[in-house]
Amino acid sequence: MNQTVKILVIEDEKNILSFITSVLSSSHYQVIPASTGAQGLSLASSQCPDLILLDLGLPDIDGMEIIEKIREWSSLPILVISARALEEDKVQALDAGADDYITKPFGNSELLARIRTALRHSSRMQTDDGLADRPYRSKGLLIDFEKRIVSRDGKEIHLTQNEYKIVALLARNCGRVLTYDRLIEHIWGPYSENDNTILRVNMANIRRKIEPNPAEPIYIFTEVGVGYRMADED
Ligand code: CA
């Protein structure tokens, strides 16, 4: 079923490129390798990939520029490969239009999970309207978007309006990271101050209400310096 899914991998480090290629090939994805930004950009337009895996640190073109160039003509999912220390790069890449990132070093199951999530979101955006509102379910947590009801193990959880908006947006994007700015803008509008404090307070309250143990979340994870990611559906 994956056989026709084409993934363009833009990565200059040979051992990482060959690791990714072998992982993806064994999961029946078709890999189009590129070792420079220029090559990547040209293959992105000529090969029509379904997803791009992009290393931000390339020898010829800055990864950020590649995201911006591709976003001029395409909304195909872009997964950024990033070094651990560079949180600002991750935020900048997401703001430039990347869908998500994966941090080096990563394992094959994490890589495949991120790819599946990105592909699922992009196909959902293209094809279904009604299905997007089916309830979110993960480890006993249920979010019914139509009725605006959140429950865990059958017990209803009372959230404030803003808490619900935060949880619903994260759940609709489950498996993907959402930046602090994106969440703040969605809840408090585009002219709100980019101050994470209110968001953090809301998140603390949400965790207290929905997580069995708020200190060790199983539903909403913190991506330090970047934002939050909701667990994938069951
Ligand atoms: Ca590199």
CA 38 to ligand 1 center in whole angstroms = 14
The predicted model scores a pTM of 0.83
**Tokens (6 digits) for 157:** 């959880």
The pLDDT mean for the chain works out to: 91
Average pLDDT rounded to a whole number, residues 128-154: 87
The pLDDT assigned to 125 comes to 61
14 CA distance to ligand 1 centroid (A)? 9
Tell me, in angstroms, the distance from the centre of ligand 1 to residue 13's CA.
6
Query: Under a CB-based contact definition with an 8 Å cutoff, are residues 33 and 43 in contact?
Result: no
pLDDT of residue 2: 46
Provide the token pair at 37. Answer: 């930004």
**What's the CA-to-centroid distance between 158 and ligand 1, angstroms?**
46
Distance 103 CA to ligand 1 centre (A): 12
User: How many Å lie between the centroid of ligand 1 and the Cα of residue 36?
Assistant: 9
C-alpha to C-alpha distance for 95 and 169, rounded to whole angstroms:
17
Cα 187 off chain centre by? 19
Ligand 1 centre and the CA of 137: distance in Å? 37
User: Token digits for 21?
Assistant: 């290629």
> Would you say 121 and 113 are in contact if contact means Cβ atoms under 8 Å apart?
no
Å from CA of 43 to ligand 1 middle: 18
Residue 159 has pLDDT above 80, yes or no: yes
| Ligand 1 center to 153 CA (angstroms) | 45
Centroid of ligand 1 to alpha carbon of 23 (angstroms): 19
How far does the centroid of ligand 1 lie from the alpha carbon of residue 199, in Å? 34
Query: Domains in the chain, start-ordered, CATH in brackets?
Result: 2-127 (3.40.50.2300), 136-230 (1.10.10.10)
Can you state the angle between helices 180-188 and 87-96, rounded to 10 degrees? 50
pLDDT digits (tens, 9 = 90+) for 166-215: 999 999 999 999 999 999 998 988 877 767 889 999 999 999 999 999 99
Residue pair 30/115 in contact by the 8 Å Cβ criterion = no
What does the pLDDT average to over 212-220? 97
